[in-house]
Amino acid sequence: MPEVRGGDDIAQLIAATRPGLLDGDILLVTSKIVSKAEGRVVAAADREAAIDAETIRVVARRGTLRIVENRHGLVMAAAGVDASNTAAGTVLLLPEDPDASARLIRDGLRDALGVDVGVVVTDTFGRPWRNGLTDVAIGASGVRVLEDLRGGTDTYGNPLNVTVVAVADELAAAGDLVKGKAEGLPVAVVRGLSHWVGG
């Protein structure tokens, strides 16, 4: 895909790559390109002000690093204001409404290619008390994001009282193995899990 700029139509850019999508595929789209297309780019000199504007509450601090709850309800470093994979001198804010962004991409792909796919918008998260980063879902359309196993039993017959699997997060993490962090691959396709797609 080409470099995404403000006003670009993500669905059209994906369709132009002739991705060979099939009904039931799931697209994992990095929030960076969605943010760029939606004009969520600010000057790097305004990063601290942008973090303040996106923050609902500070959860923890370590030096200048702030772990906060952002206005989407996500608890993350720097409210998701990110300086990676963006032009020098700029930072990216998360999409305004990641679910709406995913819906727009899904609808656009249906119009352009005639396929019924699911779309998950992903972002990179650190994990408390763990080293390393992983991608998680921050928005979705046409994908069942959770599998509620409560009320069932495990293989030993023990009741499952609290087990709700974060399917969309697991998809996002798997997709990041393909997309990587610096390879310029902002979209991955998962095939073979059409039972998670619909609605």
pLDDT digits (tens, 9 = 90+) for 91-105: 899 999 999 999 999
Structure tokens at 85: 């994979």
Average pLDDT, rounded, for the chain: 92
Residue 119 binned pLDDT confidence (cut-offs 50, 70, 90): very high
pLDDT of residue 21: 96
Query: Would you list the DSSP string of 111-125?
Result: HHH----EEEEEEEE
- The percent of residues in the chain predicted with pLDDT above 70, rounded, is 99
Instruction: Delimit the CATH 3.30.1330.100 region(s) of the chain.
Output: 1-40+95-199
Instruction: Delimit the CATH 3.90.1660.10 region(s) of the chain.
Output: 41-93
User: What fold characterizes domain 41-93?
Assistant: CofE-like fold (3.90.1660)
What residues form DSSP beta bridges with 43? 90
> Does the structure show a pLDDT above 90 at 84?
no
- Check if CATH label 3.30.360.10 holds for domain 1-40+95-199: no
Question: How does DSSP classify residue 4?
Answer: P
- Answer with the residue of higher pLDDT: 177 or 130: 177
pLDDT of residue 7: 95
Model pTM greater than 0.85?
yes
pLDDT of residue 29: 97
* Mean pLDDT, residues 72-90 taken together: 87
Judge contact between 163 and 170, C-beta under 8 A: no
Number of residues in the chain: 199
**E strands present in 5-111:** 26-30, 41-43, 55-62, 65-70, 75-77, 90-92
